[in-house]
Chain A
Amino acid sequence: MSDIIGYILIIIGILFDIFGCIGLVRFPDVYNRLQASTKCVTLGTILLLVGVAVISGLGPIASRAVICAVFIMITSPTAAHAIAKGAYAAGVELWENSVVDKYADHANKKDE
């Protein structure tokens, strides 16, 4: 029973990974790519690690997989935030059809 649950979790996780990577290839600018790929791949890899932990049962593999999952859950949004701020500071343009840029007000206010 736990095998079936674990394999279902792994398949869902790998589907999220693939969709995130397709977003990384297909989307038009840095910020779109960032928001598609980071969220999808983080959730997918956490589901994959939880699935591995469920299949292997209590033991060394499960404990390490859960530690990896918690670590990725903490670090991946931090890295994405840093990249977004760095990309804006490096002067990367938004996509031409972007609707709103609320960070511009904040960045200009900080300059004055």
Chain B
Amino acid sequence: MITIFYLALFACCFMCLYRIGRGPSAPDRTVAIDILGIVIVGFCAILSLETGKDFYLNVAMAWALLSFIGTIALAKFLEGRSFDE
């Protein structure tokens, strides 16, 4: 059961990586990076369910925070403004 979950999430990750590689414009890649971060949070949750250890969810929280900050920074950069505005 857990193996099927892993394979499905791997498929999601590879679809995101395909869009990061092929995406014709920069916003496509930014969307794919955002989605990849959220999928990896779910991956950490499944890891934590399998092993019964809780620190994987600490990793998930830190990953969600950093992914959000990175996405906001890339969006500001796309908009052509500096990070202070």
Contacts and interface: CB of A to CB of B under 8 A. Distances in A.
Looking at A21, A55, A60, which has the most chain B CB atoms within 10 Å of its CB? A21
A92 B80 CA distance: 13
Contacts of A24: 15-16, 19, 31-32, 35
Contacts of A22: 15
Secondary structure dominating the interface of A: helix
Contacts of A55: 49
Which interface class (under 10, 10 to 19, 20 to 34, 35 or more) fits A? 35 or more
A94 interface: no
Interface string A49-84: 100100110011100110110011001101110110
Interface of A: 7, 10, 13-14, 17-18, 20-22, 24-25, 30, 33-34, 37-38, 41-42, 44-45, 48-49, 52, 55-56, 59-61, 64-65, 67-68, 71-72, 75-76, 78-80, 82-83, 85-87, 89-90, 92
A105 B42 CA distance: 39
Given A17-B39, A79-B75, A25 B15 contact: yes
A63 to B, nearest CB: 9
A82 B71 contact: yes
A42 B38 contact: yes
A35 B39 CA distance: 16
